[in-house]
Structure 1
Amino acid sequence: MPDARLPADPGQPTVPTGELLETGRRNALLKAGALQNAILTSANFSIIATDEKGIIQLFNVGAEHMLGYRAEEVINRCSPSDLHDPAEVTARALALSTELDTSIAPGFEALAFKASRGIEDIYELTYINKNGSRFPAIISITALRDDYGDVIGYLLIGTDNSVRKRVELQLNDAVAAAEKANLAKTDFISSMSHELRTPLNAILGFAQLVESGTPAPTPTQKRSIDQILKAGWYLLELINEILDLALIESGKLSLSEEPVSLMEVLLECRAMVEPQAAQRSIGMVFPRLQVPHYVKADRTRLKQVLINLLFNAIKYNQLGGHVTVECTTPTPGKVRISVRDTGAGLAPEQVSQLFQPFNRLGQESGKEEGTGIGLVVTQRLVHLMGGEIGANSQLGVGSEFWIEMNQATAPGLPLLQRAEPPRAEPGHDTAYRTVLYVEDNPANLELVEQIIARRSNLRLLGAADARLGIEFARVYRPAVILMDINLPGINGIEAMKILRADPVTARIPIIALSANAVPRDVHRGLEAGFCNYITKPIKVSQLMDALDAALADAAATHGQDLAEDIP
């Protein structure tokens, strides 16, 4: 029977089918041989094949170069786990046992466990060279099966991971160095904040005393005092904002996220900003929320954000203008708070530069003071609370700043009204009450002495260090103790703990009066047991409010002690 022949193009000789098939098989074999040869001679990858028991049957050139063994030294003699760090093999077995809730023996069983179940496994391990040196590798292991699906061996393909590990270590070192530098910067700024606050406390404190003293200052003196106070409070604002920015950038700013009532926060903000708006004849329009809105935020920081936006809207508004606050829900799960003003507005290129540090958008020479940091801090606080911030503006019309926060479910219990701290108004027949101030800075001591001297029912007792302060507290038993934190020898927190441990002084209210104004310092002080924490520079009204509340508590405690002494 003649050979079957394939149709051919005109002018081309006819090729027998058998010859074509033979040529195809020969080419396939050549290709398979080339592939096998490439696998066996690859110097970049270690390729190891084992039988079903995990004994090495194939050890290519790459494995020889990588591990230092000749193929005949390991074939039919070793398992791949013999070439690995034994501690890692044991750890892998334990991890798999925990993950799969079954017992897995260390050794090759641990390496091949997943592969035997049809799962290609890729993992990192440490190879041990014949000369004892170690290096990291990435290994892929696959089960080899026969035509019936039974496992007949395993294929391990590995590559040296030293370069990537070295780059990772360098990157980790660089990150650690950057974090260390960032921490050093934050600590430096915190320390500088303390050092700046101490002299600023004297400047602002005595200026407040002169301003409100008797006899009243002359008009010329009053203008000078106003300039001192204005510059001092501006410097304090700058210190606070730089400190906030440093804490945010270092990741050390702690937030307490909770459902926050927008109605409550806006009422508090309104009470704070309306007096300033009234001075400039600026009308304030706040929303009347028919439905209570709660957002997920840190209450204190949300209030800081809104007050900053409101103060800016007042500061850069026109005389007799107005500020409008609105609350909307643009998308499900979001609440938008918008603050619109009727100021001069901003050009598009100015809007694009709004959140750059120290960029006041050409207002440096204007009559309004500012640090150029407030909006940057505001933006980062909003982002830390999971929100968004933006702005729209039009020259000659005004600007709108908005924040969007995640909506929260109202808390289960109704919010209690926050009561104002009780104030103890001194009467004409009130006996002297002693206030002990533990402070090593003479200027600070004199400042508080002059503040206390304005109350006819109070007298101040000063102590220059904690040891003397503790002795004075035990002997004189003051109604209230004011305690600096950074004292020579025993610091203020340690002194407070000693006083709390002594039955004689345990119930005396102690107020921290410190230039350590970082939020974590304030939180640490309150947690340690201070009944209040006043930061320097001192605001006279704030200090007197805290003293009045502490004196009221001390009077109540004294009355309770007398009742307990009656048989």
Structure 2
Amino acid sequence: MGLSTLLETLTDLVVIVGGDGRVREMSSSAAAFLGDRVGTTPHLHELSGVVEPGCLSDLASPVSQALTRTAAWRGTVWLIDVAGAVAPYTVTARLDPAGGVVIVARDTVDARARGAAERESRSKDEFVARLGHELRTPLNAMLGFAQLLELEPLTPDLHEDVERIITGGRHMQALIDDVLDLARLRAGRGDINKGPVNVLDIVQGVVELVEPLAERRGIRRVIQPARPLIADADRRRLWQVLLNLIGNALKYGREGGSVRVGIVPVTGSRIRIEVEDDGFGLSPSALSRLFRPFERLGAEDTGVEGSGLGLALSQALVTAMGGVLTVASRPGVGSVFAVVLDAVDVRYDHADEDPQEAPGERQLEPGGLRVVHISGDPGLRELVTDTLASALGADTISVPRGALAVEAIRRARPSLVLLDGDLPDVTAADLLPRLAADPVAGTVPALVLAAEADPDEWTRLRRAGARQILGMPLDVTTLIAATSQLTAP
């Protein structure tokens, strides 16, 4: 595909300026945006006419300094369209080695619409949360007085009526708790405390808890494979999610059938927990509504109890733990729900150690290389692991968060620590001093993968303790060379 053809297909405003300041090429969307406000071969300074004047004066110095320092600049610019309307655009300017510059402007209308939708959703969640709190007070009073009545010498009929009040009140109390929990999670205020969690322990505990329901429906449970894989998760919340998924499989699965719970490692140092049933399955239209709050997909007509909040809450909990909840289903065949979470140093957990070895230590082949990679990006973790294994025979331990780094390094005793510049919970510049202060981690050289080629940031990283820094996107040849250099005896 030629450059002209490519520019015709782009929706972004793209302008390519030559070393003499003249525009060489532009996308069709840029030409339409500029209209007749510039000539057929405009100069760079003519483009400033479409920038809102107040914005233009504020940009001149920062853009010039950034291009001089790093050959690139990115920021928000208010542009004027042919109708005179002013709107914010995300603009990137990058110097060309030949002396020209490439300018790309992207309309933020989609981002603004998404932001408005998110604000509206938050408003709804806050309203529901306030409503839930208001309902709790009279409900607690109702339950309290009903329990006092239960202690009175009542006739059997009256005693049965009081029990109905208490049962209904407790059901409503659980419903309000779920609504408030979902509202907090959607507002980013959920109570999530992540750490290393043995997934098999939780699965076995949940299966044991729902055993009576399984026996009543004659459903067989299968857990496979039985491996003590370790997830980076909130133990209480993961229990809550799996209790809902396994409970649903037993409630809606085929009577006399089976439910399978699979626990398997997947690429990118992640763990996949599958809950599979052989029930009636779901249609595509039902799947599209599955995670909506209070959506029961017709189950309210089957006599099976439920509020329609379980899956919506489970999805919010998994997302808050940094994971993904997915579903695949076929009518008449069954459904598979899957929770994918980050793994934590699974090969060095005590449950997986050789009893003849010291805790947290595993013997390598003579001359073997061990690397701890701290990254929140599963794809990058997989790329680094495969690259170092194939090129250097390295054994890479992937760690998804900075909070787990020191313990992983103490256990693994690696030759090198590789960490991303931006982690889910901390920056490399803040994590490096913590590593340096540890008696074990402080002796291991650290290599940082930095997303931006910013000299000031790279200087900060070196002062914080980085032995070497590589820019992103990652060049695997450079990574191999840097790893070899830093781990050379």
TM-score, normalised to structure 2, is 0.48
Larger Cα-atom Rg:
1
TM-score, normalised to structure 1, is 0.42
